Chains A and B, each alone.
Chain A
Amino acid sequence: MFSEALDKKANEIIARYPVKRSALLPLLHLVQNEENQITKEGMRYVAKKVGVEMNDVFEVLTFYTMYFTEPIGTHHIQLCRTISCYLRGAEEIREHLEKRLGIKPGQRTADGRFRLSEVECLGSCCTAPMFQINFDYHENLTPEKVDQILDSLP
């Protein structure tokens, strides 16, 4: 069950729209932030809140890259691979991350601490190469800087 606080937040979001269904994406973010993934219970909750079938929720969430139906991990490293980052050395950063974490893009470390994803342009082209860890931007990366950032994580 989701908390009363979350439910209150969900109602606030729904009230922003003349049609409840518009709250679907924001509510999926809400439950995913709570559970580190979107569980069946999360889907059921969102479906009920916005008045659609669970199937509709599943159909929508599978379209978007930011939703996960398995645990994301504590630190989700999303490395940009698109052209501006590629030109400034994104491949070198990927190789460094793969070596350091022992996983490939799309995988999670066994302890669940890290997930590595290669993603498309994150709008940080003038400060390339870059990755996002959860929602934080880390820019102008070098292998040394990557190490410092990872070492500083809890």
Chain B
Amino acid sequence: MLGKTAGGLYWMFRYLERAENAARLVEAGFRIALTRSNDAEAEWKSVIVTTASQIGYDTLHDGYDSSRVVDYLLRAPENPSSVLSVIKAARDNARLTRTALTTEVWYAVNDTWMLLTDLLKDPIPETELPGVLATIRQQSGLVRGALYGTMLRNDIYDFCRLGSAIERMDNTARIIDVKYYSLLPSPSFIGSRMDNVQWETILRSVSAHRSFRWAVEGDFTAPAIADFLILDRRMPRSLSFSAGQIVEHLNMLGAEYETRMPSHDMADALQTQLKGRDINSIFEQGLHEFISGVITDTAQLAQQIAEDYRFTG
């Protein structure tokens, strides 16, 4: 396979994952804005920070109100990570790698691009927002389903899945990092309203507010939530799960190409940080430091994968 094709597949799925995550963050933010308007501005700001778009946003706007933040995250052409921008980028990558995709995957991506380009043509009124966000997530699921259901399990599939897993790892880590203070087990805050709001938003940002209740017996406590998001291998957006996916698909590539690359060691090291860990030991190490480390390691790993498999010349 061409290195460029591998890179195109990888980025296509990073972008699709990014679109889905943006929709989820907007949904969580919107809920806060509706139910606790006093917290809305701070919440929107943290969403902007989470998506690493504060500098870009601040050059266009001052103040963080629903309509401008939502527009920036969903539609703004100036924002390279807006849903509209990344869906276009995903579709461009799909065109680039078209010979590697099944017709079903191509249709799913191309349909998504056509549908969302039309849906996001004009600013989204509040009344339409829930429907639009649902559509973005639904379309993302459609592409994923086409990938699972129709693609050969070969290197093509591995590069697609690596893109999703790296992006998800980065995204969950950022969500935790921005809100890390509310996840610290500080006794003076426990049970306060502030924490309940923050915890609920964090869980909603990764679509886990229901699964947490089912999976974790016991109370909503900061350590339990942190444990769930970082270490729980059952939770498909946890760091541990994502690291497992990265290692799994790199190993499959290693087997298919019969060569172990430097990125394999880096991925193993990343996974070791999470495997068999106890959440208390992470708190002792310092949650913020730990998460910052994960974000940096993930970025370096991504760079190494691109180098090992010759994404660019």
Binding partners A and B: no
State the A residues within 8 Å of B (CB).
none
